[in-house]
Chains A and B, each alone.
Chain A
Amino acid sequence: MSQRLLKVIGAGSAVSLIAMSAAQAQDISLTVVSWGGAYTESQVRAYHEPWMEMNPDWEIINDDGSANALAGLRSQSEAGNVTWDLVDMLPSDAQLACEEGIIMPIDHDEMLADGEDGTPPSEDFLEGSLGECFIPQIIYSTVVTYNSEMFEEGNYPETIEDFFDTENFPGRRAIQNRPAVNMEWALYADGVDPEEIYDVLATPEGQDRAFAKLDTIKDDLVFWEEGAQSPQLLADQEVSFATGYNGRIFDAAEVEGQPFEIIWDGQVVEFDGWVVPADGENVDEVMEYLYWATDTQRLADQASYISYGPARHSSQDLVGQHADLGIDMAEHMPTHPDNYFAPIELNNEFWTDWRDELAERFNNWM
């Protein structure tokens, strides 16, 4: 008990010390790189704005360069001029960056807050989400969505198999211009068990099989590159189906009122989170900010702005209602039992190894 008290006092005085030195230093400015659009918006409202309100001398600048974050980090590190302070990244990119020594290794238990119930971070974050340099933030999924105005009532698609069935469900389909996720779905639709997808995909025959399945819908395909494009294509009725990130789809459907329906079958789930560039100028400030911005309540808060699941166990029960719409968010989370019936867990190790080759082949195939 007394030890805990000491800890609290220690932490309190540390915070006030930092606050004082910060007040003296004046105007701490952090450049945070993220994905832009509704996602950055959710981070701004859940993390950046409340923090800046509490700390008026902090300024957080948003840059939406996450799509090319690895190249950016590499060139900044090569030049010895790191201008980014905090970067939102996928775990596969984080793994490469970590091995190349351009982002900071993280001791999660040391550097991050315990869960609200006192669970240390290494247990509180969802299984398999922690990386050597990676601080998970959300669990999101890539899903197939359709515009219900483009189909006749009573004949709506329900499965990934339907997505590949151009006879019964005609119309153009938008998929991302990279192999990951699409090849998994091709095999899944072709009858491969979700658990075995990556074993099959690691063989030349499996890759041929996936491409053969993709060939069956090739004439109807449109390709998108960045997350914001797929709801756009769907809303403009350029396509009837589009694959996309569930949070952006949610945003378009619920906030903007677009007639979008998500097919949760075969949703591909993955984590996303923060990394801290090594040798940044504001590493101490960033860690101070992250300690707060990744605690139980904050992660739960983000779920009030976008339908991505918090990456902490302790945050799950705190997920409430959408901040503007007042609807319950829990049922829109990828991890909700109603949605999580046939998930495919994205295998990052597979993709760090195979992305060079398969990206080239996929590109060629497109």
Chain B
Amino acid sequence: MAQADASMELDNRSGGSVEKMVTADGLPLKTSLRRAERRSKLFAFALVAPLLGFLLIVFIFPMAQMMWRSVDNPQIINTLPRTVEALEAWNPSAEELPPEEAYAALNADLAEGLERDRGAIGRLQGRLNNDVSGARAAVRSVAGQAGDRSEPFKDKFIEANALWGEPAIWRVIQREGRPLTASRYLRALDREYAPDGSIQMRDEGQRTYVALFMRTFALSATILGLTFLLGFPISYYMATLPMRYANLLMIFVLLPFWTSLLVRTSAWIVLLQQQGVINSTLVGLGIIGDDQRLSMVYNMTGTIVAMTHILLPFMVLPLYSVMRGIPPSYMRAAKGLGAKPWTAFRRVYFPQPLPGVAAGGVLVFIISIGYYITPALVGGQSGRMISNEIARHIQGDNPGLGAAIATLLLVCVMILYWVYNRLVGADNLKLG
């Protein structure tokens, strides 16, 4: 960059005639400039590269790896290759069992698997059991003696475990006997494969995640609404005060913003629990009886109150900075022209900070739909959100399902982030 400037000394020997402009080292100026620009670009990229590389390895790759888990499906095809092949011709939608060859192939696969890698059989059991309850016991009951068993296999299998006499488990082996699967996404959307391979809703009692996504959105929307209701007046109030006072009041917003999340969450437990400050005060003042203590924590109320408190600064900060820039003369003018105060506010003032409202709103919504800690600590059952379900599955028996739900959540967040970007631009994020 510096060189580009230095090289701009023009060659004046030609007596001012407009010839090709060249630099001191004889290169045409255009080329030199282009080179300098390229060098500068390279240099800039070299500065960005360490962080970019670091994040690609330590952050983006792990995300991709986790998403991969939502479709990765090696257990069946790797452990039961012959069985999958033998099932190719079988029609899953007919209520018939597969032919004897399939049972023979399964027996051979199990015998070999047991010999080669016993753990693989265990993982296979776990994988099948994700889709068919009892499959674990079914495999266990036939795997042990697979090496010593002779034909005919079909009856022996059915005798060992009745599940082998039902098409359901075979359908799963056939359908899921592929290296990649979409079944976890179906499950995450409360859907499943019908026997004929079409997609249908799961039974009423098993529909979980769509409702939970909805609840997460509803809770986030409620929290968003509350942060707006509480954030708008104080932002407005601060924006109308002289800078000195506004800065002082800002401490009330910034102190919670800088205080540890866990501290704020435990503060709410202390306040809201049955033996906590609020209940004890109410009982002490005789407003409620000792046996009428309110349940305000370990339920949805707890989640909403604590999260509104935690996210309020995220609404106030952008709102305030927009409102500060709105000249108060507009309102005065409107009133001077005869508008009633309420009309003046609604028609003249309110539309102006809307971009700030949108920015703060999307931010609050993005943060709250992915929230984990506060719902887990104060939410009880009714205040649970989708992230709690992700955590449960990732550390449970079906991490693939957890990964699928996480991916869906990530897609939602990315869409919102895109919206946010259109509204304010990522580099315009303001902190503190």
Contacts and interface: CB of A to CB of B under 8 A. Distances in A.
A359 B392 CA distance: 11
Contacts of A237: 274-275
Contact of B137 (A101, A352, A359): A352
A221 B394 CA distance: 26
B174 interface: no
A365 B397 CA distance: 19
A359 B295 CA distance: 27
A353 B136 contact: yes
Interface string A343-366: 000000100111111111101111
Interface string A217-243: 000011100000000000011100000
Given A101-B119, A353-B136, A236 B205 contact: no
A361 B398 CA distance: 15
A102 interface: yes
Interface in A119-158: none
- Scoring A355, A359, A361, A364 by chain B CB atoms within 10 A of each residue's CB, the highest score goes to A364
B380 interface: yes
Nearest to A225: B376
A52 B399 CA distance: 38
Nearest to B130: A356
Contact of A364 (B205, B274, B397): B205
A99 interface: yes
B183 to A, nearest CB: 13
- Scoring A100, A177, A354 by chain B CB atoms within 10 A of each residue's CB, the highest score goes to A100
B121 interface: yes
Contact of A71 (B135, B298, B395): B395
B381 A177 contact: yes
Contacts of B140: 99
Given A100-B123, A101-B117, A353-B136, A361 B205 contact: yes
Interface string A175-209: 00100000000000000000000000000000000
A71 B205 contact: no
A68 interface: yes
Contact of B207 (A99, A221, A364): A364
Contacts of A28: none
Contact of A236 (B274, B389, B395): B274
Interface in A82-103: 96, 98-102
A237 B280 CA distance: 13
B206 interface: yes
- Scoring B120, B135, B396 by chain A CB atoms within 10 A of each residue's CB, the highest score goes to B396
A171 to B, nearest CB: 9
B134 interface: yes
Contacts of B125: 99
A357 B396 CA distance: 13
- Scoring B118, B122, B394 by chain A CB atoms within 10 A of each residue's CB, the highest score goes to B122
A238 B274 contact: yes
B381 A360 contact: no
Chain A facing B: main interface SS: helix
B413 to A, nearest CB: 23
B422 to A, nearest CB: 37
Given A96-B126, A102-B119, A349-B137, A71 B399 contact: yes
B275 A100 contact: no
A98 B381 CA distance: 32
B386 to A, nearest CB: 12
Contacts of A352: 136-137
A163 to B, nearest CB: 18
A71 B122 contact: no
Contacts of A354: 133-134
Given A101-B118, A236-B275, A360-B206, A222 B133 contact: no
B273 interface: yes
Interface string B80-119: 0000000000000000000000000000000000000111
B208 interface: yes
Contacts of B205: 211, 361, 364-365
Interface string A233-260: 0001110000000000000000000000
Interface in B373-432: 380-381, 389, 392, 394-399
B129 interface: yes
B135 to A, nearest CB: 8
Contacts of B135: 353
Contacts of B130: 356
Nearest to B392: A363
Contacts of A365: 205
Contact of A99 (B121, B134, B298, B380): B121
Contacts of A177: 381
B122 A101 contact: yes
A222 B380 contact: yes
Contacts of A222: 298, 380-381
Interface in B145-186: none
Contacts of A98: 122
A356 B137 contact: no
Contacts of A363: 208, 389, 392
B378 to A, nearest CB: 12
B133 A353 contact: yes
A364 B205 CA distance: 7
Interface string B272-315: 01110000000000000000000100100000000000000000
B126 A357 contact: no
B381 A100 contact: no
Given A101-B122, A360-B208, A71 B133 contact: no
Contacts of A221: 381
Contacts of B392: 363
A296 to B, nearest CB: 33
B286 to A, nearest CB: 19
Contacts of B295: 172, 238
B123 A366 contact: no
B398 to A, nearest CB: 7
18 contacts: A71-B396, A71-B399, A99-B125, A99-B140, A100-B126, A101-B119, A101-B120, A177-B381, A223-B381, A236-B273, A236-B274, A237-B274, A238-B274, A356-B398, A361-B206, A363-B392, A364-B206, A366-B381
Interface of B: 117-123, 125-126, 129-130, 133-137, 140, 205-208, 273-275, 295, 298, 380-381, 389, 392, 394-399
List 9 A-B pairs, minimum CB-CB distance, nearest first.
A101-B119, A99-B122, A100-B122, A71-B395, A357-B133, A364-B208, A68-B395, A366-B381, A353-B137
Given A68-B395, A96-B122, 15 more contacts: A70-B397, A71-B399, A99-B125, A172-B295, A211-B205, A221-B381, A223-B381, A236-B273, A236-B275, A353-B135, A355-B397, A359-B396, A363-B392, A364-B208, A366-B381
